[in-house]
Amino acid sequence: MLRGPAEPLPHSARTLAALTANPRCDRRTLLDAAGIDKPALATHLGLPQPMKKSRLALDHGLAFERQVTDPEQGVLLSLLRKALQLPLPRAYYKDINNLRHGNGTAPLGLRRTHTSQLILGTAEGKSTPHTLLDHPVLTLNVAGRQTYLEPDAIALRHDDVFHIVEIRSFPVIHGRADPLKAAVALTQAAAYILALRELLTRTHRPATQVSDTVVLINPRNFTFQPTATTYNAAPQIKSLSRHLTRLDRLPDLLETLPPDTTCDLATSPDGTPTRPRDNLIAALATMKPHYTPGCRHHCDLATHCRTEARNRGSIGALGTTVRDDLAGIDTLHTALDLADNHVRAISDHEDTTHALRHAQRIHDELTRDST
């Protein structure tokens, strides 16, 4: 009902990572759990498209990945031998992308079956232990639907523990990667870890056979020279698991909406949405948002939610720091009334009110002095 007759939009590791960026937004949770096409909603509402990576940046990333995974050069294996102490005698390499079907690359489902067979065979000691699986395909249950995920690689250590390996084109400069970019990469890796654990636990293998430790391969400093760094992704795994559980609670969230609420774009046979925009905006208004300026980095509806937050005088529109500083005060209107002494502070807000009035006095003095 909420999505209408459209097919649900499949998730990817990137969209799953974005889920954790604003966990308190019911609107986003509802849209994601129902598999609603947010980019299509945004386009129909006339919202600007989020910035995409340039062709140059994409080509740079692909060239780096090709260099690292080229089996002739063996760069990846040699980096992982150092990072994970992979023993030389077990350096078996398999690229799942080489699996053919007819004249072309095998479809996702077939590559996923092949990946599962290799991993389970290795885990049960029945087949050659493939130390490195390149371009594997896994699945993860997201809100009751199977989501295909494609990590860059899975490495198997000598103690039969699997590790997720991700190749990223952002640099590690003097041993340090951009913390924000590393956190996003680790959250995506967390989705792969959960998918791999799901595969093993389905066959009664322990989830602990998949390590929390992720290997990121990045260019070193300002060169094309790759370097491997290990990270503990346990916080990202915990956070993503929590959000996936939240998506499972779609029926509870749906109960908070008025009956017949829908984001159906009512597309015509040629695919053009016919739903009146005001009608769609009214439907979105029934889902509680939690706008922060960070939304513009991860959500297609950011411009819409920002305008709505500003129109409502929502404190959140000014950023998380202001929201935290004014904790418990929901609107700018209330904050201004408290600062101007138009309303009395309730006991919970005495400190905040004191700070607001102090700031107001400084502002008044400065504006008086400058006139």
> Is residue 200 a contact residue for ligand SF4 (CB under 6 A)?
no
3-state secondary structure of 298: coil
Among residue numbers 28 through 57, which ones bind ligand SF4 (CB under 6 A)?
Answer: 28
Distance, in Å, from the CA atom of 94 to the CA atom of 131, rounded to the nearest integer, reads 8
Stretch that binds ligand SF4, among 133-141, 214-222, 288-296, 344-352 (CB under 6 A): 288-296
Minimum CB distance to ligand SF4, residue 315 (Å): 14
Task: Pick the closer one to ligand SF4 by CB: 137 or 305.
Answer: 305
> Is residue 25 a contact residue for ligand SF4 (CB under 6 A)?
yes
Q: Indicate which single residue of 2, 3, 19, 27 sits in contact with ligand SF4 (rule: CB under 6 A).
A: 27
> Is residue 289 a contact residue for ligand SF4 (CB under 6 A)?
yes
How many residues touch ligand SF4 (CB under 6 A)?
12
Stretch that binds ligand SF4, among 104-112, 128-136, 217-225, 286-294 (CB under 6 A): 286-294
> Is residue 295 a contact residue for ligand SF4 (CB under 6 A)?
yes
Alpha helices in the chain (DSSP H): 13-19, 26-33, 38-44, 55-69, 75-84, 108-123, 179-202, 234-247, 250-254, 277-285, 302-311, 320-325, 332-339, 350-369
Distance, in Å, from the CA atom of 206 to the CA atom of 162, rounded to the nearest integer, reads 12
Residue 290's closest CA among 311, 278, 306? Answer: 306
Residue window 305-334: x/- pattern of binding to ligand SF4, with contact defined by CB under 6 A: x-----------------------------
Minimum CB distance to ligand SF4, residue 256 (Å): 15
> Is residue 290 a contact residue for ligand SF4 (CB under 6 A)?
yes
For residues 217 and 228, the answer to whether their CB atoms sit within 8 Å is yes
> Is residue 243 a contact residue for ligand SF4 (CB under 6 A)?
no
Distance, in Å, from the CA atom of 343 to the CA atom of 331, rounded to the nearest integer, reads 14
Look-up of token digits 């929201």: 323
What is the Rg, in whole angstroms, of the alpha carbon atoms belonging to the chain?
Answer: 25
Catalog residues that contact ligand SF4 under the rule CB under 6 A: 22, 25, 27-28, 289-291, 295, 299, 301-302, 305
